Chain A
Amino acid sequence: METLEWIKIIVGSAFLLCGIVIFFTELFGVFHFQYVLNRMHAAAMGDTLGITSCLIGLMIFSGFNYTTLKILLIIIFLWCASPVSSHVLARLETATNENLAEHCEIYKDLSILEQELDSRKTAEDEKEDVL
Chain B
Amino acid sequence: MVYHTIYITMLILLSFMLLACLIRAVRGPRIADRLMAVNMMGTMVMVMIAVLALMLQQGYLVDICLIYAMISFLSVVVLSKVYIGIYEERQREKKASQEKEHKGGLSDGNA
Contact = CB atoms under 8 A, between A and B. Distances in A.
Interface residues of A, number: 48
- Looking at chain A's contact residues, is the secondary structure mostly helix, strand, loop, or mixed? helix
A119 B6 CA distance: 54
B84 A95 contact: yes
Contact of A36 (B36, B46, B69): B36
B63 A70 contact: yes
A20 B10 contact: yes
B80 to A, nearest CB: 4
- Looking at chain B's contact residues, is the secondary structure mostly helix, strand, loop, or mixed? helix
B62 A71 contact: yes
A123 to B, nearest CB: 35
25 contacts: A23-B17, A30-B24, A30-B40, A43-B39, A43-B40, A47-B40, A54-B47, A54-B50, A66-B59, A70-B59, A71-B50, A71-B62, A73-B66, A74-B65, A74-B69, A78-B69, A82-B43, A84-B73, A85-B73, A86-B39, A88-B76, A89-B36, A92-B32, A93-B30, A95-B88
Interface of A: 9, 12-13, 16, 19-20, 23-24, 26-27, 30-31, 36, 39-40, 43, 46-47, 50-51, 54-55, 58, 61-62, 65-67, 70-71, 73-74, 77-78, 81-82, 84-86, 88-93, 95-97
